[in-house]
Structures are given as structure tokens and as C-alpha cells.
Amino acid sequence: MLRLAKKIFSTGIQTEILPMPQHEIEHLGRALQVEIANKFSRALAIRMVDAGSCNACELEIHAVNNPYYNLERYGIHFVASPRHADLLLVTGPVTKNMQEALLRTYDATPDPKLVVAVGDCAKCGGVFQGSYAIVGPVNEVIPVNVVVSGCPPTPVAIMQGIFAALQCVS
């Protein structure tokens, strides 16, 4: 708990720290738009799954739709059901009580599906490593295409992760 509190106070507001100039973010967004137009008939549907995170990764995912990034303008939208999704964005280590839900969500997502594991917890357990309550990182429960590192990752890193996942589609 103390470890987590220390982390919260030492991490700045990721959303407002632009890791690259605005025009480069725009360039990345346009590249995403082209990939989506070519491979997903102009719209990519994302279902977000919190498998046991502290919620900071979710805040950065929400931030991709704020006025700084505005991901929707590139043809990306978030959906409420995995049955309507092309890609799952999964955060957190997988907790024991979310394992079944994550498996069911994966199974309910139509093929071909992509999975992006977002954050250090999703990658390796992060600050929750060794906890009695977790099963492990996301790839121990479902197949993962791309991992986005960071605690939490910035919105730009999340955009880059989505772009990398699109490269897995031929």
C-alpha cells in the first residue's frame, strides 16, 4: 500500500506531459487512421477491460479521448460489449476474481481479435507482483499481441501500442 502511495505522489499528470510535439501526435493519429481505413473499414472498436488495476492506467486510456488527443477523430471508438470489439485494451495484473471475466470477454470478442496489455501490471504484475490476490500478467491468461510499458503509460504510448497492434493484422 505504501509502495503504491509513493508511486502516486512521484508520478506527474501524464496527460498533460506531451512526450512529443502536438504535430507529431497528429502525425501518429493520421498513421492510425490510414491503418484503420485499410484494415478495419474505417472504424476500430475497442473494449477496455480492467483486470485488476489501480485505475491510473484507465485514466490515461480515458485521456486519449480528451481534447489533447481526441482519438475518435481518427476512427477509434470505445464500445460497451466485447461482441462489438476488434481490440481489447487490458489493464492491471489479472486478479483471481477477474480471471474468469477476462477469459469470457476474450472468448466473446469476434475473430480476428487483437489484445493490447496496457501498463507494467498487465506486462509483469508491476507493483502487485507477489500478491496473493493475482494470477499474473495478462499473457498468462489470454494471448497478447502488444504490451505497453509504463506505470501508468502516457496516452501517446497507448496510441503507439494500438498502432503496433494494427501491424499484426495482414
Residues at the interface with ligand SF4 (CB under 6 A): 53-54, 56-57, 91-92, 119-121, 126-127, 151-152
143, 117 contact by CB (below 8 A): no
Q: What gap in Å lies between CA 50 and CA 116, rounded to an integer?
A: 12
Closer Cβ to ligand SF4, 86 or 120, answer by number: 120
Query: CB 56 → ligand SF4: shortest distance, Å?
Result: 3
Whether a cis peptide bond, with omega within 30° of 0, leads into 155 is no
Which amino acid, one-letter code, is at 153? P
Closer Cβ to ligand SF4, 29 or 137, answer by number: 137
Closer Cβ to ligand SF4, 57 or 144, answer by number: 57
The CA-based angle 170-45-12, given to 5 degrees, is 105
Query: CB 64 → ligand SF4: shortest distance, Å?
Result: 15
107, 64 contact by CB (below 8 A): no
Query: CB 119 → ligand SF4: shortest distance, Å?
Result: 3
